[in-house]
C-alpha cells in the first residue's frame, strides 16, 4: 500500500474529530456537545448503516454464494463476542468485558472503505453485497453483548446477594431485551426497510443516508466520543499491555478465521479481503452508540480507545496489506 493511501486514511476527517475531542479535554477547553445531540447522532448513524445495507442487499439479490457469505458474516459477528468475552474477563468486569467483546464482534465502516479503496486501486473486483454483510454484522454483536451482560451480571448479583432463587435469569426477558432494544431494533428495522423499499425507497432517501450527511454526523459523533474517552483515558492505562495486546492480536486472529471461512465458501480475492477486514475490525459507530445507551456501566474510554487508538490504525497501516498477502498465499 503506497504512503499516500495510508496517509489519506489516517487523516480521515471523522477520526481526526475524535482526536480533536481528546485534545479539547487534554488542554482543558470548555468544548462540549449538548446532551440530546449525541443520542440523535447515534440514532441517525444506526438508520443510515441499516438502510444502506438493506438497499445493497436488494440490488445484489440472493445467490447461493451471497447467502453463504451473509450467513458467515452473521456467524462471525455472533461467535467473536463470545470467546472475546471470556478472554477479557481475565482482567475486566462483566460490563466492560461485554462492551469490548461486542465492539470486536462488530465492524468499522472506515476500515471497510479503506480496504475497498485498495481493491479499486489494484483493480480487484468485489461485490456490492459485502456492504449488506457489513450491516448484518452490527446487530449480532450488540445482541450477544447484551445477552452476556444480562446473563453474567445476573449470576454475579445472585452470588453477591445470596439470592439465587430470586435472581434466576429468564431467557424470554433476555431475548426480548436483546432483540427489542432500541438500538438493535432500529438497525435491523432499517435493514429490512432498505430491502422492502428497494430502488424507489433509495431514490427518495439516498441523500439522507449517503456519504456527505453520514460523515457529517459521524464527525460530530466521534467528536463527542473523543471528549468522553479523554475524560477517562487513564482507565486504559490501568489495564496496560493486556488490552493493548488484545487490540492487536484479536483482529489478526479474527482475520485469519475469516480468511479460512472465505476460502471454504469460495469467495473471490476481493470479497475475501473485505470479509477478513470486517472480521478483523472493531466498531466505533454502532456498538459505542448502543453500549452508551444500554450498558452505561461500561467505560467508553476502554472500548472506544481500543477500537480507535489501537485497532483502527493497526488495520489501516499494517493489517489490510497483511490480510491481502495472506489471502494470496492461501490461494483464495
Q: Which of 291, 245, 218, 318 is nearest to 84 (CA)?
A: 245
Is the alpha carbon torsion for 80, 82, 88, 92 positive or negative?
positive
pLDDT at 73: 95
What is the pLDDT of the chain when averaged over all its residues? 83
| 154 against 22, higher pLDDT | 22
Q: Which of 127, 135, 134 is nearest to 192 (CA)?
A: 135
Q: Which of 119, 35, 110 is nearest to 312 (CA)?
A: 110
C-alpha distances (whole Å) from 315 to each of 53, 221, 295, 322, 324 are 22, 21, 27, 9, 12
Q: What's the maximum distance between 2 C-alpha atoms anywhere in the chain?
A: 62
Cβ burial 304-326 (10 Å sphere, 16+ → b, else e): bbbbbbbbbbbbbeebbebbbeb
pLDDT at 179: 65
Range of the domain at 301: 35-329
**Per-residue pLDDT tens digits for 9-68:** 567 788 788 889 889 999 999 998 888 888 888 888 888 888 888 887 888 788 899 999
Specify the pTM.
0.74
Count of CB atoms within 10 A of residue 5's CB? 15
* Residue 311 resides in a domain: yes
pLDDT at 86: 96
User: For 193-211, what is the mean pLDDT?
Assistant: 87
* Residue 212 resides in a domain: yes
Per-residue pLDDT band for 168 (boundaries 50, 70, 90) equals very low
Cβ burial 180-214 (10 Å sphere, 16+ → b, else e): ebebbebbbebbebbbebeeebbeebeeebeeeeb
pLDDT of 262 higher than 90: yes
* Residue 122 resides in a domain: yes
* Residue 23 resides in a domain: no
Q: Grid coordinates in use for 197?
A: 423499499
Q: Grid coordinates in use for 242?
A: 493486556
**Per-residue pLDDT tens digits for 72-93:** 999 999 999 999 999 999 999 9
| Domain count across the chain | 1
* Residue 157 resides in a domain: yes
CATH of the domain at 198: 1.20.1530.20
Is the alpha carbon torsion for 105, 17, 21, 209 positive or negative?
negative
Distance CA(146)–CA(187), nearest Å, equals 15
Distance CA(134)–CA(107), nearest Å, equals 7
* Residue 20 resides in a domain: no
Q: 93: helix, coil or strand?
A: coil
Q: Grid coordinates in use for 151?
A: 446473563
* Residue 7 resides in a domain: no
Amino acid at each position: 500500500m503506497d504512503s499516500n493511501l495510508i496517509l489519506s486514511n489516517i487523516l480521515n476527517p471523522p477520526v481526526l474529530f475524535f482526536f480533536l475531542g481528546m485534545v479539547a479535554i487534554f488542554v482543558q477547553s470548555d468544548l462540549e456537545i449538548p446532551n440530546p445531540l449525541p443520542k440523535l447522532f447515534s440514532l441517525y448513524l444506526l438508520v443510515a448503516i441499516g438502510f444502506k445495507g438493506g438497499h445493497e442487499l436488494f440490488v445484489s439479490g440472493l445467490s447461493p454464494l451471497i447467502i453463504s457469505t451473509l450467513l458467515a458474516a452473521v456467524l462471525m459477528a455472533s461467535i467473536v463476542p463470545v470467546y472475546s468475552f471470556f478472554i477479557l474477563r481475565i482482567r475486566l468486569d462483566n460490563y466492560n468485558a461485554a462492551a469490548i467483546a461486542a465492539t470486536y464482534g462488530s465492524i468499522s465502516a472506515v476500515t471497510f472503505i479503506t480496504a475497498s479503496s485498495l481493491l479499486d486501486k489494484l483493480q480487484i473486483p468485489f461485490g456490492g453485497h459485502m456492504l449488506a454483510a457489513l450491516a448484518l454484522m452490527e446487530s449480532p454483536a450488540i445482541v450477544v453483548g447484551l445477552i452476556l451482560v444480562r446473563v453474567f451480571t445476573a449470576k454475579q448479583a445472585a452470588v453477591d446477594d445470596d439470592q439465587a432463587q430470586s435472581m434466576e435469569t429468564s431467557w424470554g426477558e433476555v431475548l426480548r431485551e436483546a432483540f427489542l432494544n432500541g438500538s438493535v431494533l432500529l438497525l435491523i428495522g432499517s435493514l429490512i426497510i432498505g430491502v422492502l423499499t428497494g430502488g424507489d425507497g433509495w431514490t427518495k432517501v439516498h441523500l439522507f443516508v449517503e456519504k456527505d450527511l453520514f460523515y457529517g454526523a459521524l464527525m460530530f459523533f466521534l467528536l463527542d466520543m473523543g471528549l468522553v474517552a479523554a475524560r477517562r483515558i487513564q482507565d486504559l492505562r490501568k489495564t496496560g499491555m493486556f488490552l493493548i495486546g488484545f487490540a492487536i492480536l484479536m483482529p489478526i486472529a479474527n482475520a485469519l478465521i475469516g480468511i479460512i471461512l472465505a476460502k471454504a465458501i469460495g469467495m473471490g480475492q476481493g470479497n475475501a479481503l473485505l470479509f477478513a477486514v470486517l472480521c478483523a475490525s472493531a466498531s466505533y459507530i454502532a456498538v459505542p452508540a448502543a453500549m452508551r445507551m444500554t450498558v452505561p456501566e461500561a467505560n467508553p474510554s476502554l472500548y472506544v480507545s481500543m477500537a480507535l487508538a489501537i485497532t483502527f490504525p493497526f488495520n489501516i497501516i499494517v493489517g489490510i496489506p497483511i490480510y491481502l498477502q495472506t489471502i494470496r498465499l492461501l490461494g483464495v
